[in-house]
């Protein structure tokens, strides 16, 4: 397969890049200062694209690669891939579901505990030497809270299972009610936010879920409510979130993702009721390696004519 040209459009872990380089004629988009040069020199020969949650294959790129056969995403999210265009052209699409579920769910619980118990601030309190002048202020209990989850798919269900271990009541919103679920369903996000203490965003990013967290939802969650986002930054109307946190209309937020990553609103930096992470939901050695192996396995299956491991299109 060394003669097959593959375009890498996003930075991935070194293991995956090295394996792709061993197996294919690897082209890295950042090696070409001008995209037009890349396409003019190699566009006619590229048969595969590998991206991640930050970069994929839009309509323009797909049209510029006449021999493109497969787009393999080093992530579970595929909002950077024009799926309709891929379907039209018969281009296969794969992602990396399941293997990152546990890590993302673990991180969601970690964000909740860190936010409610002010763990980051407590750490700074000790490091600064302030403890000798008095005990740290009281924080908020997690156990027994009502957790609302937007999107009860693989990751949402895993978060719910973990939250149950803290004796939390679980409720959810999704496009359709899950008949097999024991959790309480709310037909709108506003109703869900009005009836929970902690609101977790765990749904895919689509046109329908863009800014699903808006001013109305934030106000429904209220000054004693907490927002956790381990989905995508564009799920949240970020200016509305910032103003709600600054004005005290929302109790706090734990955020692993942002609208314009890696740029984060500077207004959040001075707030002690937020926890900010650099999009590390799946960021463990074990999970990223498993994700890389899925990318490699899907590409190998495609070019050998075998069934794809995790087909999306």
For the annotated catalytic residues, the residue numbers are 232, 261, 279
Q: Kindly list the distances between the CA atom of residue 110 and the CA atoms of 119, 120, 230, 276, in Å, as whole numbers in the listed order.
A: 10, 11, 11, 12
Distances (CA, A) of 70 to 13, 48, 66, 180, 295: 20, 5, 12, 35, 11
C-alpha atoms less than 13 angstroms from C-alpha of 164 in its C-beta half-sphere: 10
CA–CA distance, 171 with 149 (Å, rounded to integer): 6
Distance CA 200, CA 111 (A): 10
What is the Cα–Cα distance from 20 to 48, expressed in whole angstroms?
11
CA–CA gap between residue 293 and residue 23 (Å, rounded): 13
In this structure, how many other beta carbons lie within 10 angstroms of the beta carbon of residue 58?
A: 13
CA atoms within a 13 Å half-sphere pointing along the CA-CB vector of 100: 25
H/E run at residue 300 = helix 285-304
């Amino acid at each position: 397969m060394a003669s097959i040209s593959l375009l890498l459009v996003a930075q991935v872990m070194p293991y995956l890049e090295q394996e792709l380089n061993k197996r294919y004629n690897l082209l890295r988009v950042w090696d070409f200062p001008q995209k037009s040069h890349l396409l003019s020199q190699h566009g006619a020969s590229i048969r595969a694209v590998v991206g991640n949650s930050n970069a994929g294959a839009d309509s323009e790129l797909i049209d510029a690669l006449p021999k493109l056969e497969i787009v393999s995403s080093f992530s579970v999210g595929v909002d950077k891939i024009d799926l309709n265009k891929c379907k039209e052209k018969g281009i296969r699409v794969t992602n990396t579901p399941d293997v990152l579920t546990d890590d993302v769910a673990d991180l969601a619980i970690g964000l909740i505990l860190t936010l409610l118990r002010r763990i980051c601030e407590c750490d700074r309190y000790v490091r600064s030497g302030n403890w000798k002048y008095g005990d740290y202020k009281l924080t908020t209990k997690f156990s027994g809270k009502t957790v609302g989850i937007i999107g009860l798919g693989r990751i949402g269900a895993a978060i719910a299972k973990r939250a149950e271990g803290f004796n939390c009541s679980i409720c959810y919103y999704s496009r359709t009610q899950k008949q097999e679920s024991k959790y309480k369903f709310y037909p709108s996000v506003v109703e869900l936010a009005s009836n929970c203490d902690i609101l977790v965003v765990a749904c895919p990013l689509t046109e329908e879920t863009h800014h699903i967290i808006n001013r109305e939802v934030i106000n429904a969650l209220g000054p004693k409510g907490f927002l956790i986002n381990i989905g995508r930054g564009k799920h949240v109307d970020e200016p509305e979130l910032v103003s709600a946190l600054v004005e005290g209309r929302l109790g706090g937020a734990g955020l692993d993702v942002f609208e314009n990553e890696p740029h984060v609103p500077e207004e959040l930096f001075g707030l002690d009721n937020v926890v900010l992470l650099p999009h590390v939901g799946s960021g463990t050695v074990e999970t990223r390696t498993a994700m890389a192996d899925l990318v490699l396995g899907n590409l190998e299956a495609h070019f050998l004519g075998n069934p794809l491991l995790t087909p999306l299109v």
